Amino acid sequence: MQCLARPFDAQSDDLERLGDRSRLRSLAPRAGLDFSSNDYLGLAGSVVLARAVLWALDRGTPVGSGGSRLLRGNHPEHVELELDAAKFFGSESALYFSSGYVANSALFSTLPQRGDLVIHDALIHASAHEGLRLSRAHFLIARHNDPTHIEKLARKWRLSNGSGRIWIAVESLYSMDGDLAPLDDLAALADQLDAILIVDEAHATGLFGASGRGLASHLQGRPNLVTLHTCGKALGCEGALICGPRIVTDFLVNRGRGFIFSTAPSPLMAAAVRGSLQHVAEASRLRTELTSRVDLAQRRARALGFRGSSSQIIPIILGDDERALLAAGELQKAGFDVRAIRPPTVAEGTSRLRISITLNVTHSEIDGLFSTLAAIL
């Protein structure tokens, strides 16, 4: 059998081109103070979650599920988590997935049907794009946080004989800009258009809304609302929960290939998420402490001439790829774990430092970060 001399020449060439443009990625170890993670409440390494896992082990909870949920992988911990989550988030039902990426991909590839239209915000997550790529529905991109543009696209589609269901897909808090979606306006528009609103609460869960239930928590119970809550950010665990009317989760169980053909998440992790939800519901002190740190960071960012944001995510937009990389490198040398974010993750010309404020850092460490950044810039 003849072997190719360079079996991966296309991949090698592609990596070389990325390197030429300063966009080659590599895995870097953890080092320095945490200004890059999504562990907003500092729960990932907490005693609270360690105890939840130990208690689960004591009652015989297995590490592995052994199969998909539709086979033998459906453990009581999964069922209890979904009941707890539905109660916590105020939805009729909830369904647990192994990650936010898998959940978003399954949601968008399964729920919208042939002949439907999905209008999504321009800055929605890559996992939603992956689901839409697999979907049978048509989709259009709306300007960021612009309900008027969404309405214009929807009405134009109807006038061109579009007759299916309209879906509006947004994030409640955007992961690279830190800004918030106008959810009340979007919910009113969904009602007006007889549309379904999908809200990805990934970066808001645990932090915003009553008891950390998310920015869309006051909209829960509506028949045309579906929310997604990731468990690997403020909740400190792993996985994601899709919440909404029971017909949504029943349909995903029957038609969602990303759910049907995946090994079920670890029952031990489901137990950890249950423990996190119970803790977060009563964690107003943690949210208050985080707000104090975020307020300080926002003031320091604006003092340097940057626009800041409305949340714990603060973009320091430097524009040029190389400038962002150099600034991040200097901060890392000084002991601050800040990463450069470049295209295609963000738009061309908007390379940035993404500063994430968590309870893993103190007020004085936040001051130190911005003093160092001022000297670098």
Of 233, 132, 123, the C-alpha closest to 171 is 123
Tokens, residue 35: 């200004």
Find the helix or strand (DSSP H, E) in which 266 lies. Answer: none
Task: Respond yes or no: is residue 145 known to be catalytic.
Answer: no
Choosing from 75, 78, 203, 229, the catalytic residue is 203
Annotated active-site residue in 120, 125, 229, 279:
125
Concerning whether 200 is annotated as a catalytic residue, the answer is yes
Spatial CB neighbours of 8, under 8 Å, sequence gap ≥ 6: none
DSSP 4: P
Instruction: Choose, from 34, 36, 38, 279, the residue flagged as catalytic.
Output: 38
Q: What is d(CA 72, CA 113) in angstroms, rounded to the nearest whole number?
A: 30
The token duo for 374 is 């001022």
Q: Is 254 annotated as catalytic?
A: no
Question: Is 203 assigned a catalytic role?
Answer: yes
Q: CB–CB of 74/264 below 8 Å?
A: yes
Which one from 84, 171, 177, 337 is the annotated catalytic residue? 171
Q: Return d(Cα 262, Cα 65) in angstroms, integer.
A: 11
For residue 273, give both structure tokens. 């998420």
- The DSSP 8-state label assigned to residue 219 in this structure reads G
Known catalytic residue: 179?
no
Active-site residue 37, yes or no? no
Catalytic-role residue among 99, 175, 309, 356: 175
62's tokens: 């297995």
Of 211, 215, 210, residue with least CA distance to 311: 215
Q: Which of 39, 233, 266, 337 is catalytic?
A: 233
| Beta pairing, strands 138-142 & 351-356 | unpaired
Helix (H) or strand (E) holding 327: helix 321-333
Told to judge if 14 belongs to the known catalytic residues of this protein, a careful annotator would answer: no
Q: Annotated active-site positions, please?
A: 38, 125, 171, 175, 200, 203, 233
